Structure 1
Amino acid sequence: MADKTDYSAWSQENLIQRVTQLEKELHSKYKSTLLPTSVEKSSKKARPEKTFDPSKYSTRLIALKFAYLGKKYNGFEYHAGHETPLPTIEEELWKAFNKARLIFPKGSSPLDPGEVNWEGCEYSKCGRTDKGVSAFGQVIGIRVRSNRPLGKHKESVLGDGEETAGKLEHASSAEAISDPEAFNTLPREHAMELASPPLQPTRLEEDGFPQLDSDESDIEETLNFDPITDEIQYATLLNRLLPPDIRILAWCPAPPLDFSARFSCRERRYRYFFTQPAFNPTPHNLEQGTTTRIKDGWLDIDAMKEAAKLFEGLHDFRNFCKVDSSKQIENFERRIFHADIVEVEDQSGEMAFMNGPDLAPTPPITGSPKVYTFDLHGSAFLWHQVRCMVSVLFLVGQGLEAPSIISELLDVKKNPRRPLYEMATDTPLVLWDCIFPSEDDAERKDALVWHYVGDQPGFGDTKYGTQGLMDNLWEVWKERKIDEMLAGSLMGVVAKQGLPIPLLSSNVTERRGVRSQKVFDGGNVPRLQGRYTPVMKKPRLETVEAINEKYAIKKGFESAEDLKIQGFRRLNLKPQPPIDTLDE
């Protein structure tokens, strides 16, 4: 029966609610009458999801080298129970590994991988980059599903070195397939896999290497398996599932026996990018006075080079990092192998107006704006260490500090308390590469054998073909390059409009020499800081010992020493790792 309700007196709000209600009722009737008919007519049945039994597959430990642009991510590391406004790199990796069914986490499905948990995957990571920081040579180690056939032999196929392999977590284990609730990426019992000689051969001097009896006929199928050409194309598979700004670059099919992406890495290389000029300079005739001999916006590259060299060697960097009292770190010594300021290449383009006589410093710098990097190679890095180092270098570059400020801050006996200066912004920082040398290699050459995307015979299109690695990166680059060109062209257009620079005047009435100081910190624009206060005259933090002591007492211990003796066990925390293992 038709609805006889009189709607003429209804308000607009009530009419909208009534229409919404009727639409819902109509949609419900449509589903109940038409949907069964359409299902009956369909000859295709919904295909049930195929059960994936991890126990039928062998596994192998591999290393992966990958890159990411960190601007859209909340850092590399995922912290359970801690929600972040942006995803982390580890979250994206976790989802890709699960969807590809390369690992088999407990209580999760590929469509709903659940909370990040690498237990049972022999997972290790080299660097823990902060929010906004990028990496072009990040490395992880992980045990993944393999195409290698499982051997049928029921007895051990390892020789005298079996005990040694067990100590190094490469021994076989039946736990993964005996317990369906277990993490199923553990090593398979009696399975074979490749491994390179250890990076620390002194660990195996007495025990020797695991040996395989090649006469066993029932493992012939696994021996005929080519560990590269017959294997899953891990890089290509993961790149299809990862966001376009996270790319797998290479894989190592046979990491050393003692491999850990964190503890085996003996050199980490960072690059911090910045422009010259660092920010838009003010024309000479509009300047209201300056507190330094350096023209605003421009950096003294030679002074920065001189200062950077003072970082090289073994130093205590407590005045160049942020202290994490929860880790109770006492040793802040880190070794820097190389530190320098390096020009990237000419980046002038549409910004050539920077070279005009009204904006250029004296003597003029041609071909601006240029791009430079602070290149830094070190054994390991403390929390925010690189950004603190860069921040002080920028103060030197602006003429606000002398290069000797580096030596003053490195002298922790004279200056045990860090001055409260601002650290550099995060986005221009890149973890450039991670190096894994043998312990006896004085030149620190990477001992891992990397197979890069496209190098395998017949797979060149995975690098340069349609939707290959370079296609993916071109798409990411092109979007950002067009933005850069448009913004640069607009600046060039505006610079040429209106009166010539010498005819412009300012209505600022500040007295010369007392204006607010512009301080560059790596960001897009400088910070205004009022009258500049030299670093050594700024307020100081407490000593490291005092910070650690306060944290321990806050947690209910008598002292930091008491926490070190018994507290980490009670707090379920790990004690301070040895030197050269903490990253930026």
Structure 2
Amino acid sequence: MCSLKVGVKRRKVLNTSEELLELPKNELINRILQLEAHNKQLKSIVAKQNDSKAKQDNENRKRKRPFDFSRFPKHHIAIKLLYLGWDYQGFASIEDSTNTIEHHLFAALKKCCLIESRESSNYNRCGRTDKTVSAFDQVISLTVRAAKEGDPPLEYCKMLNRLLPKDIRTIAWKPVPENFSARFDCKRRTYRYFFPRGDLNLHAMQKGAEYLIGTHDFRNLCKMDVANGVVAFERTIDKAAIEIISKSSCHKGSGFDMCEFVLTSKGFLWHQVRCIMGVLVLIGRGQEDPEIICQLLDTTTFPRKPQYCLAVGEPLNLFHCDFDLDNWIVEKSSINEVVQTLQQEWATHSMKGVMIEQMLIGLHRITDSVNLSLQSGGLLQGTQSKVYTPLSKRPTCESLETRIAHYVEKGRIEV
């Protein structure tokens, strides 16, 4: 386990012309370019906001007097939520977009006066899912307004779901100790990556997945986030399995069978699941042997990560977060609405899927030359070369040591 301690060094704010004159010419140029790019970005954001400014001004005039939080008690709670992340820029808030799960979540929390601000809410999240990634069992913890003594408890799920988009739903909540953290008190997290069988060799993929179990250095199976101080890449995998979850009734031995890759660990690295799945797809296609996983986990064999494609994000789901908590409060009326919403989503997508499947089977009846086992072709990002190059012969990324030295020199981190 790497014991190296790293601190992220923030760039100094320069306030006087004398301080600017002391900078080297190349750094001044870099700062000017960064400021120009940031200014362009801000102008774009302001332009978007101006369209709704008049409407917002009217709402502000109609706004009632500020809510008096001092009249109500507060308590710390955990909330379970699910979301379909396909159309979002990720779970965590980002500066240049409002299209994140957290943005909508905090907008709802503030609108129903459960919190005054994010900063004062003692907020933590269990997982930070990326763009297009979904979750069934995301957990957050925060301090919220409680009911007055003698009043019935507030129905948090009902209150929030009334304001949240249909593809973001809270499903349960529970009072927790004040020091409880959804991030640090999670015992393990389970991701499920759903994919069609297609022409993939599931047995070979399972063999490759089994090599992941245990404690390993995953620097070659993630995106190294050295700029933010992450320099230790050892993680322990508790479960890694390839499983068939549903068989197609239309075509025996079918590429239409749906499968999943299940991965469980206490914590994950950036893009770790999608990097692993990307390599497993290569194994399933017969382009790599299952033992390539062992080689990538050996930093002597692969001191630098070979360049390869990530698996796409849409099929990935943070499906379970395990805590030492029980007796979650499930509001019956609220959960029934969630079930109905998901059933409608399932019906819409299933009808589209079955329609396309029947079209493909119809084409197969017309001509035997139609290959009905190409479903895995869309699992990897980017374009693939017609002539396959083994991972061992591909160009590589910079080594961990080189990246650390680079960011130390830039003043981004301190070792």
Q: How high is the TM-score relative to the length of structure 2?
A: 0.79
Q: Is the Cα–Cα contact under 8 Å of residues 244 and 473 in structure 1 kept in the other structure?
A: no
- Partners of 1:133 and 1:61 in 2: CA distance: 27
Equivalent residue runs for 1:455-466 within 5 Å: 461-464=333-336
The one-character-per-residue Cα deviations of 1:190-241 (angstroms, maximum 9, x if unpaired) are xxxxxxxxxxxxxxxxxxxxxxxxxxxxxxx6xxx6xxxx211001111111
Q: 1:463 to 1:538 in 2, by over 3 A?
A: same
Equivalent residue runs for 1:63-462 within 5 Å: 63-79=78-94, 82-84=95-97, 87-105=99-117, 118-149=118-149, 230-253=152-175, 255-277=176-198, 298-349=199-250, 352=251, 355=252, 366-436=253-323, 446-454=324-332, 461-462=333-334
The one-character-per-residue Cα deviations of 1:406-454 (angstroms, maximum 9, x if unpaired) are 1001011332211111111111110011112xxxxxxxxx434322232
- Partners of 1:373 and 1:73 in 2: CA distance: 22
Residue 88 (structure 1) shift: 0.4
SS where residue 258 of structure 2 aligns? strand
Q: Does 1:485 align with 2:349?
A: no
Q: 1:256 to 1:491 in 2, by over 3 A?
A: same
Amino acid aligned to 2:224: V
The aligned residue for residue 18 of structure 2 is none
Q: Does 1:522 align with 2:379?
A: yes
Q: Is the Cα–Cα contact under 8 Å of residues 244 and 476 in structure 1 kept in the other structure?
A: no
Amino acid aligned to 2:350: K
The aligned residue for residue 5 of structure 2 is none
The aligned residue for residue 496 of structure 1 is 365
- Partners of 1:421 and 1:489 in 2: CA distance: 34
- Partners of 1:51 and 1:527 in 2: CA distance: 54
The aligned residue for residue 188 of structure 1 is none
Amino acid aligned to 1:83: D
Q: Is the Cα–Cα contact under 8 Å of residues 124 and 141 in structure 2 kept in the other structure?
A: yes
SS where residue 326 of structure 1 aligns? helix
Residue 484 (structure 1) shift: 1.8
- Partners of 1:386 and 1:261 in 2: CA distance: 21
The one-character-per-residue Cα deviations of 1:217-268 (angstroms, maximum 9, x if unpaired) are xxxx6xxx6xxxx211001111111111111111112x24531011111201
5+ residue gaps, structure 2, are: 1-60
SS where residue 189 of structure 2 aligns? strand
Higher-helix-fraction structure: 2
SS where residue 131 of structure 1 aligns? coil
Across the aligned residues of Structure 1 and Structure 2, the Cα RMSD in angstroms comes to 2.4
Equivalent residue runs for 1:555-574 within 5 Å: 555=411, 563-564=414-415
Residue 317 (structure 1) shift: 0.3
Q: Is the Cα–Cα contact under 8 Å of residues 196 and 375 in structure 2 kept in the other structure?
A: no
Residue 322 (structure 1) shift: 0.7
Amino acid aligned to 1:383: W
Q: 1:518 to 1:236 in 2, by over 3 A?
A: closer
Higher-strand-fraction structure: 2
Q: Is the Cα–Cα contact under 8 Å of residues 519 and 526 in structure 1 kept in the other structure?
A: no
Amino acid aligned to 1:266: K
Q: 1:54 to 1:126 in 2, by over 3 A?
A: same
The aligned residue for residue 113 of structure 1 is none
Q: Is the Cα–Cα contact under 8 Å of residues 395 and 519 in structure 1 kept in the other structure?
A: no
The one-character-per-residue Cα deviations of 1:309-347 (angstroms, maximum 9, x if unpaired) are 100001110000111221232211001000000111123
Amino acid aligned to 1:539: P
- Partners of 2:92 and 2:280 in 1: CA distance: 28
The aligned residue for residue 166 of structure 1 is none
The one-character-per-residue Cα deviations of 1:269-309 (angstroms, maximum 9, x if unpaired) are 000111011xxxxxxxxxxxxxxxxxxxx011111111101
Q: Is the Cα–Cα contact under 8 Å of residues 240 and 261 in structure 2 kept in the other structure?
A: yes
Q: Is the Cα–Cα contact under 8 Å of residues 518 and 529 in structure 1 kept in the other structure?
A: no
Q: Is the Cα–Cα contact under 8 Å of residues 395 and 520 in structure 1 kept in the other structure?
A: no
Q: Is the Cα–Cα contact under 8 Å of residues 520 and 526 in structure 1 kept in the other structure?
A: no
The one-character-per-residue Cα deviations of 1:371-395 (angstroms, maximum 9, x if unpaired) are 1100000010111010000111111
- Partners of 1:238 and 1:491 in 2: CA distance: 42
Q: 1:127 to 1:540 in 2, by over 3 A?
A: same
The one-character-per-residue Cα deviations of 1:518-551 (angstroms, maximum 9, x if unpaired) are 984615x994412111011111112111112112
- Partners of 1:546 and 1:47 in 2: CA distance: 57
Residue 488 (structure 1) shift: 2.3
SS where residue 452 of structure 1 aligns? coil
The aligned residue for residue 408 of structure 2 is 552
Q: 1:386 to 1:145 in 2, by over 3 A?
A: same
